[in-house]
Amino acid sequence: MTIAAEKPTKRAFGWAGRALGWWLGELGGIYDDVAQLLDLGDRNAIVIEAGERYWLLRRRQRPLGQIDRAALAADEICATMARVAPDAGSAPVIVEIPHERVLTKRIVLPAVAQGELERILRFEIARHFPFPAERVHFRHRVLARGGGTIEVEIVAVARETVAEICAALDQAGLRASVIRLAGAAGALPRAVLGRSAARLRRGDKALLAALGALAAAAVASPIVHERLALAAIERESESLRPQAQAKLDARRLQLRDTARIAGPLRLQASRPPLVVLLDGLSKAVPDGAWLLSLSVSGHEVVMDGLAPSAASVALALEQSHAVADVSFRSPIARDPRTGLERFQISAAIPEPKP
């Protein structure tokens, strides 16, 4: 009798623990956002302009000193930092990647791209920068609107550059609170700081106290009460488990027999008819663009064509659901004769819906 009573209790505490963990995770996200704003506005914050060789230290606009990373060992960098900025261990450290280490590009897009700007820029980065979007951290801002277009400025830095700066900070015994790009609006997400995440400072104690109070309130929140009620319902359903298990076993046997019969039919229908695929592609390709060639191999389709904007073609294909996993197979080039962009796009043919 004791053993039977312990299981629902443990299950109830498990639900409560997971609910509390979710709420604490939400509070942690709030803490990251608020702490970053506090760091950027702190008058005592130390700004490190992390050049490829020289680190320039300042407090706001007042210079503090310079560190030559190529000429100093890690312990010497620590000593120099302690001499130039004695309070570096307690004050927030803001890393700014200077202009010579970032790439900037201004582009003009149709005004309709405003709603899908983040996704479109991931296609555009491959055209204007020597890296794909997966290998850079980037920020953007809209500079102007009008005449049916928008002008966007993209500021990007290679992920390897950010990783090298974080590693150098770790070796020097420093902890960055914020990493921002020169000329970009906003800072990089705190998740990219890695081990160089900020340590607890005096200014954070009040914030942590407030978050602690919220965490304590979460114990008695409706979420926890709901989880406890669900635990009680689960206890009552224990008596029905054997019958449900028997029905599940019978269902598995039925599905196994059905699969043996339907297997060849599924293989035959694993790819939609070519006519259906061509019809979907013709509807998806926007006006003003046309295909020069199209090849289908297995579940992959490759399209060569010309368009005023290759990025808009890729976005239209992705939104049409006629194909999936849309990507550029080769760099985009502008046709000197027509002035249009020459593209080669590959995509996966989705499995037909039953």
Three-state helix/strand/coil letters over 303-349: EEEEECCHHHHHHHHHHHCCCEEEEECCCCEECCCCCCEEEEEEEEC
From the centroid of its chain, how far is CA 104? 21
Whether pTM exceeds 0.85: no
CA distances from 134 to 41, 121, 160, 173, 289 (A): 31, 12, 11, 29, 27
Check which CATH number belongs to the domain holding 114 and give it. Answer: 3.30.420.380
Binned at pLDDT 50, 70 and 90, residue 151 comes out as very high
Does residue 129 belong to any structural domain of this protein?
A: yes
Q: Which residues on adjacent β-strands are paired with residue 152?
A: 107, 142
CB neighbours of 331 closer than 8 A, spacing ≥ 6? 126, 127
Does residue 136 belong to any structural domain of this protein?
A: yes
Helix (H) or strand (E) holding 35: helix 2-41
Q: At what angle do helices 202-219 and 2-41 cross, to 10 degrees?
A: 150
CA distance linking residue 97 with residue 49, whole number of Å: 6
Does residue 325 belong to any structural domain of this protein?
A: yes
Check which CATH number belongs to the domain holding 278 and give it. Answer: 3.30.1360.100
Does residue 239 belong to any structural domain of this protein?
A: no
74-87: pLDDT as tens digits: 778 777 777 777 76
Select from 145, 160, 175 the last residue of a domain.
Answer: 160
Does residue 289 belong to any structural domain of this protein?
A: yes
Cβ contact 331:299 at 8 Å: no
Does residue 25 belong to any structural domain of this protein?
A: no
Question: Residue 130 sits in which domain range?
Answer: 100-160
Select from 142, 160, 178 the last residue of a domain.
Answer: 160
CB neighbours of 151 closer than 8 A, spacing ≥ 6? 106, 107, 108, 142, 143, 144, 145
Give percent of the chain above pLDDT 90.
Answer: 4
227-238: pLDDT as tens digits: 777 777 877 777
Binned at pLDDT 50, 70 and 90, residue 4 comes out as very low
Residue keyed to tokens 């400025």? 153
Kindly tell me if the per-residue pLDDT of 99 is higher than 90.
Answer: no
Write down the pLDDT at residue 149: 92
Q: Specify which of 169-173, 205-209, 295-299, 344-348 reaches the highest per-range mean pLDDT.
A: 344-348
The number of helix segments (H) and strand segments (E) in the chain equals 9, 13
Q: Rounded mean pLDDT of 269-281? A: 70
Does residue 144 belong to any structural domain of this protein?
A: yes
Select from 116, 142, 160 the last residue of a domain.
Answer: 160
Does residue 326 belong to any structural domain of this protein?
A: yes
Domain count, the chain: 2
